[in-house]
Structures are given as C-alpha cells and as structure tokens.
Amino acid sequence: HRTGAWNVPRHRPATGAVRFRMNPVSARPPSLSLVVVAYNIPREAPRTLRSLSAAYQREIASDAYEVLVVDNGSTPPLDPDLI
C-alpha cells in the first residue's frame, strides 16, 4: 500500500508554508515534524519531498510524521502543484 505526500490534503498554517500529514485520517498527532525550507530550488524540491514520502521510509508509520514545507521567498514562488 503506497501512501505519500502526493495524495494528502494540504493545510496552510502560515503564508508560504504547506503542511502534509502522511496519514490525514489519523486521530493522534505526529511524533515527528520535518521542516523543509525551499528557496529557488524548483528542480530539487519535488525530489526532496518525494524522498520524504512514506513510500521511501522504513520502520516509521505514515501517521508518525508530517512534513512542513516553507517557501522562503523564492522567485517565482514554489509551485504548490509540485508538492
């Protein structure tokens, strides 16, 4: 069963930030939050985020962590569809 950042709803906690819950239906809060700060890396950002998706992880449940993505003023801004 493949779950990842590409299939989950996006929550915008602050301007320029996107929060991904690997398993948005989980009732418990994640025990780990990863913060990815992006600045003018449109090519690297999708690969970095894909590597953090649940499909690439071992020995951690998909609901045990979340990935927070912060676009730190990129020009042009990081495309939300890439995330």
Interval 24-73: pLDDT, tens: 566 788 999 999 999 999 899 999 999 999 999 999 998 899 999 999 99
pTM greater than 0.85: no
Which pLDDT band holds residue 9 (cuts at 50, 70, 90)? Answer: very low
According to DSSP, residue 29 is labeled P
Residue with the larger pLDDT of the pair 36 and 6: 36
Contact assessment for residue 80 and residue 28, using Cβ atoms and an 8 Å cutoff: no
Contact assessment for residue 49 and residue 7, using Cβ atoms and an 8 Å cutoff: no
Query: CA nearest 83: which of 64, 65, 70?
Result: 70
